[in-house]
Chain A
Amino acid sequence: MEKISQFKGLAVPLKISNVDTDQIIPAVFLKRITKTGFEDGLFANWRQNPDFVLNEPRYQGGQVLIAGSDFGTGSSREHAVWALRDYGFKAVFSSKFADIFLGNAGKQGLVAGVISEVDTERIWAFIDENLGAEVEVDLPSQEIRVGDMVIPFSVDEYTKWRLTEGLDDIGITLQNEAAISDYEAKRESWKPKTLPARGV
Chain B
Amino acid sequence: MSNKPLTLAEKLWRDHLVLKGENGAPDLLYIDLHLIHEVTSPQAFDGLRLAGRGVRRKDLTIATEDHNTPTENIHLPIADPTSRAQVQALRDNTAEYGVRIHSLGDDNQGIVHVVGPQLGLTMPGLTVVCGDSHTSTHGAFGALAMGIGTSEVEHVLATQTLPLQPFKTMAINVEGTLRKGVSAKDIILAVIAKISTGGGQGYVLEYRGSAIRALSMEGRMTICNMSIEAGARAGIVAPDQITFDYLKGRPHAPEGDDWDQALKDWAELKTDEDAVFDAEVFIDADTLDPFVTWGTNPGQGVSLMDSIPDPESFTDPSQKAAALRALEYMDLKAGTKMKDIAVDTVFLGSCTNARIEDLRVAAEILKGQKMAPGIRMLVVPGSHKVRLQAEEEGLDQVFKDFGADWRFAGCSMCLGMNPDQLAPGERAASTSNRNFEGRQGKGARTHLVSPMVAAATAIRGTLSAPADLEL
> Which among B25-33, B344-352, B357-365 touches the partner chain?
B25-33
**Residues A35 and B50 in contact, CB atoms below 8 Å apart:** yes
Q: Which of A170, A173, A188, A198 makes the CB contact (< 8 A) with B51?
A: A170
Q: Which of A35, A189, A192, A197 makes the CB contact (< 8 A) with B123?
A: A192
B85 at the interface (CB under 8 A from A): yes
In the bound complex, residues from chain B placing their C-beta under 8 Å from that of A176 are 18-19, 28
Question: With A179-B28, A180-B30, A195-B59 known to touch, is A169 a contact of B155 (CB < 8 Å)?
Answer: yes
**Residues A183 and B18 in contact, CB atoms below 8 Å apart:** yes
Interface string of A167-179 (1 = CB under 8 A from B): 0111001101001
**Residues A33 and B123 in contact, CB atoms below 8 Å apart:** no
In the bound complex, residues from chain B placing their C-beta under 8 Å from that of A173 are 28, 155, 158-159, 161, 163
B160 at the interface (CB under 8 A from A): yes
A194 at the interface (CB under 8 A from B): yes
**Residues A33 and B51 in contact, CB atoms below 8 Å apart:** no
**Residues B51 and A193 in contact, CB atoms below 8 Å apart:** no
How many residue pairs link A and B with beta carbons under 8 A? The number is: 111
Identity of the chain B residue whose Cβ is nearest the Cβ of A33 in the assembled complex: B42
In the bound complex, residues from chain A placing their C-beta under 8 Å from that of B289 are none
Bound complex: CA of A89 vs CA of B423, how far in Å? 43
**Residues A190 and B155 in contact, CB atoms below 8 Å apart:** no
Bound complex: CA of A34 vs CA of B262, how far in Å? 41
Identity of the chain A residue whose Cβ is nearest the Cβ of B85 in the assembled complex: A33
Bound complex: CA of A174 vs CA of B151, how far in Å? 15
**Residues A197 and B261 in contact, CB atoms below 8 Å apart:** no
B229 at the interface (CB under 8 A from A): no
**Residues A180 and B251 in contact, CB atoms below 8 Å apart:** no
Bound complex: CA of A155 vs CA of B9, how far in Å? 37
In the bound complex, residues from chain A placing their C-beta under 8 Å from that of B53 are 170
Interface string of A2-32 (1 = CB under 8 A from B): 0000000000000000000000000000010
How many whole Å from B20's CB to the nearest CB in chain A? 10
B210 at the interface (CB under 8 A from A): no
A36 at the interface (CB under 8 A from B): yes
**Residues A200 and B108 in contact, CB atoms below 8 Å apart:** yes
Bound complex: CA of A36 vs CA of B47, how far in Å? 9
How many whole Å from A37's CB to the nearest CB in chain B? 10
Question: With A169-B151, A174-B159, A199-B250 known to touch, is A190 a contact of B265 (CB < 8 Å)?
Answer: yes
**Residues A193 and B19 in contact, CB atoms below 8 Å apart:** no
B60 at the interface (CB under 8 A from A): yes
B284 at the interface (CB under 8 A from A): no
Give residues of chain A (35-67) contacting chain B, Cβ–Cβ below 8 Å.
35-36
In the bound complex, residues from chain A placing their C-beta under 8 Å from that of B50 are 35-36
B418 at the interface (CB under 8 A from A): no
A107 at the interface (CB under 8 A from B): yes
Identity of the chain A residue whose Cβ is nearest the Cβ of B82 in the assembled complex: A31
Sample of 19 A–B contacts (CB below 8 Å):
A1-B51, A107-B151, A169-B163, A170-B53, A170-B154, A173-B159, A173-B163, A188-B125, A188-B262, A190-B259, A191-B126, A192-B123, A192-B253, A193-B59, A194-B62, A198-B252, A199-B119, A199-B252, A200-B251
Question: Footprint of B on A, CB under 8 Å?
Answer: 1, 31, 33-36, 78, 107, 168-170, 173-174, 176, 179-180, 183-184, 187-195, 197-200
4 closest A-B pairs by beta carbon, nearest first, are: A199-B251, A33-B42, A190-B262, A190-B254
Question: Footprint of A on B, CB under 8 Å?
Answer: 18-19, 28, 30, 32-33, 42-43, 46-47, 50-51, 53, 58-62, 82, 85-86, 89, 100, 102, 106-108, 119-121, 123, 125-126, 150-151, 154-155, 158-161, 163, 250-254, 258-259, 261-262, 265
**Beyond A33-B43, A107-B151, A192-B252, 4 extra complex contacts between A and B, CB < 8 Å:** A173-B155, A180-B160, A189-B261, A192-B253
